[in-house]
Amino acid sequence: MKKNTKTIIFPLNNNEHILMELGKPLNKIDSEAPLDRIPVKIFISNTYLHLTNQWPLDVFYDLKTNLESALNNKIQPHSSIKKNLGYLWNQDMHGDASELIFEQKEKQNFWVGLRRLLWSSSNKLNPKLSTWLYNDQDGNIILELTPSYRWHFAQPKEGEEFITYEQFMATYQSYLTRIISKEVAERWIAICEEGLAIIPTNV
């Protein structure tokens, strides 16, 4: 990886990849500056979908640590989770916690499924996506994108194609599910390590 690179690609397969758009050379980024939050996108079906806006340091660190755990089959969803993670996450955000288990962190309750949440995109985007990374019951590394209801915490704007939460959940389905091979996971970890080795020189 060149220190002055402005884009970083994590290849998923021959046709799909995750892209970090840095906007300026990696060796010029201050990882603690809010203005240096950068878009992370995934390329699927000949188009880019926005996954999150995040500091490059956090993207590298979160991917690296999660993938290292995944290679050792250590990031399976909580045993209480019997339905799709994204489906249950929408229930949590809507206040329907009847079948959810929570844990306390910093004196706040969080649904245990969020342990496997990697990124979440802005309410302003359509589709609004959540990105999950976890091991399935066979030990495969799973990357999954799920849609989130856009009006959990916002009112629809004039002209928007609004649907109710009930309508959204009635037709809910996961947006994308991919198995990340051991080779791809190791390549992504190597990319993260290269990036982490560059950014700290400027922090």
Residue 116 lies in a domain: yes
Tally the domains of the chain: 1
Residue 107 lies in a domain: yes
Residue 44 lies in a domain: yes
Distance of CA 126 to the CA centre of its chain: 15
pLDDT at 181: 98
Residue 151 lies in a domain: yes
In contact, 105 and 114? CB cutoff 8 Å: no
In contact, 126 and 119? CB cutoff 8 Å: no
d(CA 185, CA 203): 27
Other CB atoms within a 10 A radius of the CB of residue 101 amount to 12
pLDDT at 203: 43
Tokens of 13: 């397969």
HEC letters along 85-111: HHHHHHHHHHCCCCCCCEEEECCEEEE
d(CA 190, CA 192): 5
Global pTM?
0.91
The whole domain housing 96 covers 7-202
Residue 1 lies in a domain: no
Give me the average pLDDT of each 10-residue run along the chain (203 residues).
88 96 83 69 94 91 97 96 95 89 88 95 84 97 96 83 93 96 98 88 47
Residue 134 lies in a domain: yes
